[in-house]
């Protein structure tokens, strides 16, 4: 009963804030505030608040949370031990790779091309400029072209 009263008060306060926000011509924000303020009333009307209140004060519900916690702890412990040992996941991957290797004929995986008969072509090197004046002449030409 107290939870329903609190949720109703929160909803009324939120709708009041939404009305003030709408008065200030911020209609999008006012609509969003009104939507948030109607959520507690909807939760009360659907019975979710009563269910949460009953669960929060129920010894059986807390024992259930304890069982879930122990289950999670056991699950994480087995995962840690599995990873420390090398893991069954790695063993499965290794077995799958081995199965793929055995499925293909040994000669089929060898390349059919023979060794290269002609030497690789070496890239031609560009001749170096003989003086630094040639470099500056290119720069001067670009600057003159742009009127600098």
CB-count burial class (<10 Å; 0-12, 13-18, 19+) for 89: exposed
Burial string for 10-44 (b: 16+ CB within 10 Å, else e) reads: ebeebeebbeebbeeeeeeebeebbeebeebbebb
Q: Average the pLDDT over 127-132 and give the result.
A: 58
pLDDT value for 28: 92
Query: pLDDT, tens digit, for every residue of 79-125?
Result: 888 777 765 677 778 877 877 776 655 555 555 565 555 555 566 55
The pTM for the full model equals 0.43
Contact yes or no for 13/41 (Cβ under 8 A): no
Above 70 in pLDDT, residue 4? yes
93 or 134, higher pLDDT: 93
123 conformational bin, left if phi > 0, alpha if psi -120 to 50, beta if neither: beta
């Amino acid at each position: 009963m107290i939870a329903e009263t609190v949720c109703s008060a929160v909803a009324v306060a939120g709708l009041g804030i939404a009305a003030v926000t709408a008065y200030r011509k911020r209609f999008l924000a006012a609509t969003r505030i009104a939507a948030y303020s109607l959520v507690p009333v909807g939760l009360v009307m659907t019975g979710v608040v009563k269910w949460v209140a009953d669960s929060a004060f129920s010894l059986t519900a807390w024992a259930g949370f304890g069982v879930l916690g122990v289950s999670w702890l056991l699950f994480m412990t087995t995962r840690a031990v599995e990873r420390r040992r090398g893991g069954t996941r790695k063993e499965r991957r290794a077995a799958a790779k081995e199965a793929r290797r055995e499925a293909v004929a040994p000669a089929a995986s060898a390349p059919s091309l023979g060794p290269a008969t002609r030497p690789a072509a070496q890239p031609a090197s560009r001749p170096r400029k003989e003086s630094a004046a040639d470099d500056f002449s290119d720069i001067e030409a670009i600057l003159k072209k742009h009127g600098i």
